Structure 1
Amino acid sequence: MSHPIPRAAAVTAAITLLTSLAAAPAQAQADPTSQRQRDFTAAAKEFNVPENILLGVSYLESRWDTNAGTPSTSAGYGPMHLTDLREAGVAGTHHDEGSEDPRGDDARPAVHPQAGPPAPPPALQTVDEAAHLLRTDAQTLRTDAKQNIRGGAALLAKYNTDNNWYNAVARYSGSTDKAAAQTFADEVFDTIRTGTTRTTDDGQQVTLAPTPGIEVPQHADTTPKNVECPRKVTCESVPAPYQELPNDDYGNHDLADRPDSQKIDHIVIHDTEGYWANVLDLVQDPTYVSWHYSIRSADGLIAQHVPTKDVGWHAGNWYVNAKSIGIEHEGFAAKGTWYTEAMYRTSAKLVGYLARKYGIPLDRAHIIGHDNVPGTTPATIPGMHWDPGPYWDWSRYFDLMGAPLGGFGLPGSSLVTIDPDFAKNQPAFTGCDKSGSGTPCTLRGSEAVVLHSAPSESSPLLVDIGLRPKGTPSTMDVADIGSRVATGQRYAVAEVRGDWTAVWYLGQKGWFHNPRDARVAKPAFGWVVTPKPGLATVPVYGRAYPEPEAYPAGVTVQAITPLPYTLAAGQKYSSGGTVGSEYYWATTFDPANHVVVKGKLKYVQIQFGHRIAFVKADDVRIVPAF
């Protein structure tokens, strides 16, 4: 039973309350940089999802980023990666663009297979399911981070049909492959176990506190015995056909016996420019081209197509093909899309496994993008591909491999490693919707640093005489790599003026802004090459082929053709190591007729422009960088 408060007492109480409110300090404003954390907390509570589960799933999809509203490589939007293929659209495969011959062997006719338009996968529409649950629209879920998080939480709650959050997380991956879905869930729960914290691409502070005791089910290893794959990831076999074709032709790769026949020196990172199902169809076509592995965006599933002992047709340069492993990643370079954390993680495990197996150094001289592969002759340079593009996060990738980039030299070193802050480094590229269109791309994080011809943002970009024989400057088109350095690449310093640094690049000084409080290049240890005394210039090559005398009878001598660049006296370029001269003669279906030609010539791999190149060891001195 309540009792009324006497009037005098009520007045006194009111005065006391007003006095205390007046005396109390103003309530502290919520920190705007932790709003995303509060959004996760609120959504977890609203839909009765454990907050660490919600945070863990989001981290494996987007690392809590918004990516400026652009879709992922599997059409996912926002921190929870809600997929909307209608909005993301479809692109064709990059193997159909330009004039690159993926095989890149002058001894055989060029191959330019056409894939046809890819069919979009029907499963990439979780945004509709989430919109139905929240009674909102797809656009809101794509563009509003808070609502996107609520949509992801609603889906997780719906998927938790047996009160088993591990199964709900596996289903959230969208994978139709049980083992791949479990791998995704295992990565989520590993992240929950260890915890993590970071600042997102839009400046939000988010923390996932560690939960050391969390457990996951044990699974049987389902990897086929013929698949070369690391443990704790899901791999399948989708073989590329080695098949005889009409007109004395065959496809779509070459049998070999690596590393006994030839050392494997490089791993080449590609993106598919198409969706998963279409890519698998292409690699199983004997009239198409091939690569060794593909990795799916949504869950990181790995498919092996060609044994690593054999040679895939993927890089557009036969010398590189014969000495590399090619890995395609479901994604798009030109559309400004982003690669999922799930795909980065399994790819990093695969590359680490292959690097250990074949003794490949974990650096950017040997783990290269397709965009770092040189043209074979002056005529092939303009048609070379440029994937995985400037939005591939090389720094994050190498962190996952336990081989972080940058920061290992002494101040004032004459060699630097390009290492910008990925999220803050946002070059104003154009042409993401359609290469060459001039339409500005959405500003977002990038691994690329643009070079200028003078220490000024208003100065023209550099000239790449191979891409533009008429000598016109490079552009900011997303596909134009003529005046661009990439994270992890090393360059010799040519000059420093205040906050500007110049490096030697394609025979020129390339300038970039490198202020003390926001370094985009870090001092490095290493070796550089420079012409021997008395040589004004030395030729630069796109492949390290043997001298003519090395070829046996019946094997056509391959021309040692210089590229249209020169390395001049006084210039220095970072060394990627000395290599022997080799050519793999493989022009017939019967591998018994294949021959590895090894010469006495030695070459040095250098970081010459955006792409690697080779110079003859007899032409240069190799000296330590100071």
Structure 2
Amino acid sequence: MGKIARVPVPKLSALLAAAAAGALALSALPSNAAEPVQPVQPAVTTDISSAFTAASAKYDVPREVLVAVGYAESHLEDHGGRPSQSNGYGVMHLVSNNKNPTMSEAAKLTGLPVEKLAKDIPSNIQGAAAVLDSYADSAGLQGDARKDSGRWYEAVARYSHSADGPTARLYTDEVFRIIGAGVQAEGVTVAPTKVTPQRGTYAKVAPLGTRTESSVAAVDYPGAIWNAACSCNYTVGRTKAISAITIHVTQGSYAGTISWFKNSAAQVSAHYVIRSSDGQITQMVAEKDKAWHVGTENPYTVGIEHEGFVDNPSWFTDAMYKSSAALVRNIADRRGIPKDRAHIKGHSEFPNQTHTDPGPNWNWTYYMQLVNGGNPNPPTYNFTTYGSGVRVRATPRLNGTIITELPGPTQVFVTCQVQGDTVTAEGTTNNWWAKLRDQGGYMTNIYISDPNPKLPGVPVC
């Protein structure tokens, strides 16, 4: 994200005073998730699955709805108690800003202090359940109707506190997509649930992305959806020619980021936002105008935000990488920008920055291969267990010969690269390697070198 560190959170003291006596002021909590903050370590291991079950039962919210909201917001990560770009906290993203009061509402409904709601996972889940319960009550959802997940559509849409109807529908449709697909996250499993969303008033709202003649004319990239940021969050025109592209991570959800850029209090924006699940692209600022995303370097850059959080690689999907790379390639070709790492850089790599995005989980090697027209579908090879170790079968070029063994789990996957970092393995040092595909943070950034000195330049797979 760009200038988030400079954004004050409005009237927090008043919100917190109404929330609970003695609660920790959120203004004392960090205002920017990308800043280096010491995370709070829980004293005991949290049973997040039980926390969802308990909150669901206490507030009569379907468990699949509660889990899907949390997964859409955070992939069920609390990020050590650090806030999102819109000042939201925890697995359920309880928020305190000028448009979204879910944190103060949760404090009032549960009687829990804000600090606990922000940093204790079960309390955070309980707070969200209480808020959803209150919204369902306001909508008249009672009795057996509460057991029908599809009837919770409007309550979930209200929970998002989106900037407008189309953005609220974008958010809620994603939650219901997750309900239908099911969730398998660390510690939490929800089976796929067949559900028919009853959109109510949102049935008449055109989904975000419905193209009109004017919206098609507004975008610089043909595949993008036009949804303008608040004019108070960017500058019309530029003072320098575009010569670089900035890669960001939103520190929040796709719909939440779009909503934030439309919020007059944000004082931040980007030209594009990309969704994790399918690579959908929304353009919010015209390239000819200066978005506020990378501080002093705004005048000459185009900013691209990617849905997710820097500390959780599960957000960085292949669909997102491919979509983003196609966009970057298009911008670079139109603007005459070299497609290299000197001109396509992460937020943290520009001068005068305090942010860390896109962080160590962003796969720059694969991404730049895609940007430069490399194979968009790198081959995947299966490691199958033999005896005590994993044996790697070679490419057809090596006639399927087993060429190395290494300890490992029963089945892992590798993505073959052409050329990468210098790696020493199996007694050989070279810069041809295969990288184990990240398993949601498991086996992250593990490389295997070519062990066969007779065939230099041939990856292990």
TM-score category by the smaller chain?
0.5 to 0.7
Structure 1 distance, partners of 2:313, 2:121, is 17
Structure 1 counterpart of 2:357, one-letter code: G
Query: Residue 492 of structure 1 aligns to a residue in which SS?
Result: coil
Structure with the higher strand share, 1 or 2: 1
Structure 1 residues 171 and 326 mapped into 2: Cα distance closer, same or farther (>3 Å)? same
Structure 2 counterpart of 1:351, one-letter code: S
Which residue does 2:424 correspond to in 1?
495
1:209 paired to 2:177: no
Shift of 1:80: 1.1
Contact kept in structure 2, 1:292 and 1:326, CA below 8 Å:
yes
Query: Residue 351 of structure 1 aligns to a residue in which SS?
Result: helix
- Cα deviation, 1:62-101, whole Å, max 9, x if unaligned, reads 11122222222322222111125xxxxxxxxxxxxxxxxx
Structure 1 counterpart of 2:445, one-letter code: V
Equivalent residue in structure 2 for 1:73, among 81, 85, 94: 85
Structure 2 counterpart of 1:269, one-letter code: I
Structure 2 counterpart of 1:389, one-letter code: D
Shift of 1:354: 2.6
1:225 paired to 2:216: yes
Query: Residue 228 of structure 2 aligns to a residue in which SS?
Result: strand
- Cα deviation, 1:92-138, whole Å, max 9, x if unaligned, reads xxxxxxxxxxxxxxxxxxxxxxxxxxxxx424542221011112211
Which residue does 1:304 correspond to in 2?
284
Which residue does 2:228 correspond to in 1?
236
Structure 2 distance, partners of 1:47, 1:37, is 16
Query: Residue 180 of structure 1 aligns to a residue in which SS?
Result: helix
Contact kept in structure 2, 1:57 and 1:80, CA below 8 Å:
yes
Which residue does 1:327 correspond to in 2?
304
Shift of 1:45: 1.5
Structure 1 residues 33 and 350 mapped into 2: Cα distance closer, same or farther (>3 Å)? same
Within 5 A, what are the aligned runs for 1:45-84? 45-84=57-96
Shift of 1:34: 8.6
Which residue does 1:521 correspond to in 2?
446
Structure 2 counterpart of 1:46, one-letter code: K
Contact kept in structure 1, 2:271 and 2:302, CA below 8 Å:
yes
Q: CA RMSD in A?
A: 5.6
Structure 2 counterpart of 1:270, one-letter code: H
Contact kept in structure 2, 1:71 and 1:77, CA below 8 Å:
yes
Structure 1 counterpart of 2:285, one-letter code: H
Percent of aligned positions that are identical = 28
Could you say which structure has the larger radius of gyration? 1
Structure 1 residues 58 and 123 mapped into 2: Cα distance closer, same or farther (>3 Å)? same
Structure 1 residues 124 and 282 mapped into 2: Cα distance closer, same or farther (>3 Å)? closer
1:268 paired to 2:241: no
Query: Residue 394 of structure 1 aligns to a residue in which SS?
Result: coil
1:195 paired to 2:193: no
Structure 1 distance, partners of 2:248, 2:321, is 13
Contact kept in structure 1, 2:56 and 2:63, CA below 8 Å:
yes
- Cα deviation, 1:398-454, whole Å, max 9, x if unaligned, reads 99x9x79997697899xxxxxxxxxxxxxxxxxxxxxxxxxxxxxxxxxxxxxxxxx
Which residue does 1:293 correspond to in 2?
272
Shift of 1:142: 1.8
Structure 1 residues 183 and 392 mapped into 2: Cα distance closer, same or farther (>3 Å)? farther
Query: Residue 268 of structure 1 aligns to a residue in which SS?
Result: strand
Structure 1 residues 340 and 230 mapped into 2: Cα distance closer, same or farther (>3 Å)? farther
Structure 1 residues 312 and 71 mapped into 2: Cα distance closer, same or farther (>3 Å)? closer
Structure 2 distance, partners of 1:71, 1:280, is 14
Structure 1 distance, partners of 2:179, 2:133, is 18
Shift of 1:501: 8.3
Shift of 1:143: 2.4
Which residue does 1:148 correspond to in 2?
124
Query: Residue 420 of structure 2 aligns to a residue in which SS?
Result: strand
Shift of 1:503: 7.0
Query: Residue 140 of structure 1 aligns to a residue in which SS?
Result: helix
- Structure 2: 5+ residue stretches without partners: 1-43, 142-150, 210-214, 252-256, 334-338, 371-375, 383-391, 396-416, 433-441, 451-455
Structure 1 residues 272 and 40 mapped into 2: Cα distance closer, same or farther (>3 Å)? closer
Shift of 1:184: 0.7
Which residue does 2:414 correspond to in 1?
none
Within 5 A, what are the aligned runs for 1:30-429? 35-84=47-96, 121-123=97-99, 125-160=101-136, 161-162=138-139, 163=141, 164-199=151-186, 205-215=187-197, 217=199, 219-221=205-207, 223=209, 224-228=215-219, 235-236=227-228, 251-252=238-239, 254=241, 268-270=246-248, 276=261, 277=263, 281=267, 292-293=271-272, 302=282, 304-307=284-287, 325-328=302-305, 351=324, 354=327, 368-371=345-348, 383=351, 385=353, 387-389=355-357, 391=359, 393-394=361-362
- Structure 1: 5+ residue stretches without partners: 1-31, 85-120, 200-204, 244-250, 256-263, 284-290, 374-382, 414-487, 505-516, 526-622
Structure 1 distance, partners of 2:49, 2:323, is 32
Shift of 1:392: 6.8
Count of residues in correspondence between the two structures: 325
Contact kept in structure 2, 1:59 and 1:341, CA below 8 Å:
no
Structure 1 distance, partners of 2:446, 2:299, is 30
Contact kept in structure 1, 2:94 and 2:124, CA below 8 Å:
yes
Structure 1 residues 495 and 81 mapped into 2: Cα distance closer, same or farther (>3 Å)? same
Structure 1 residues 338 and 211 mapped into 2: Cα distance closer, same or farther (>3 Å)? same
Contact kept in structure 2, 1:296 and 1:343, CA below 8 Å:
no
Contact kept in structure 2, 1:311 and 1:321, CA below 8 Å:
yes
Structure 1 residues 353 and 293 mapped into 2: Cα distance closer, same or farther (>3 Å)? same
Shift of 1:159: 1.4
Q: Could you tell me the TM-score, scaled by structure 2's length?
A: 0.53
Structure 2 distance, partners of 1:316, 1:134, is 39
Query: Residue 225 of structure 1 aligns to a residue in which SS?
Result: helix
Shift of 1:520: 2.8
Which residue does 1:29 correspond to in 2?
none
Structure 1 distance, partners of 2:198, 2:422, is 50
Structure 1 residues 293 and 47 mapped into 2: Cα distance closer, same or farther (>3 Å)? same
Query: Residue 194 of structure 2 aligns to a residue in which SS?
Result: coil
Structure with the higher helix share, 1 or 2: 2
Query: Residue 130 of structure 2 aligns to a residue in which SS?
Result: helix
Shift of 1:502: 9.0
Structure 1 distance, partners of 2:132, 2:318, is 22
Q: Could you tell me the TM-score, scaled by structure 1's length?
A: 0.40
Structure 1 residues 236 and 311 mapped into 2: Cα distance closer, same or farther (>3 Å)? closer
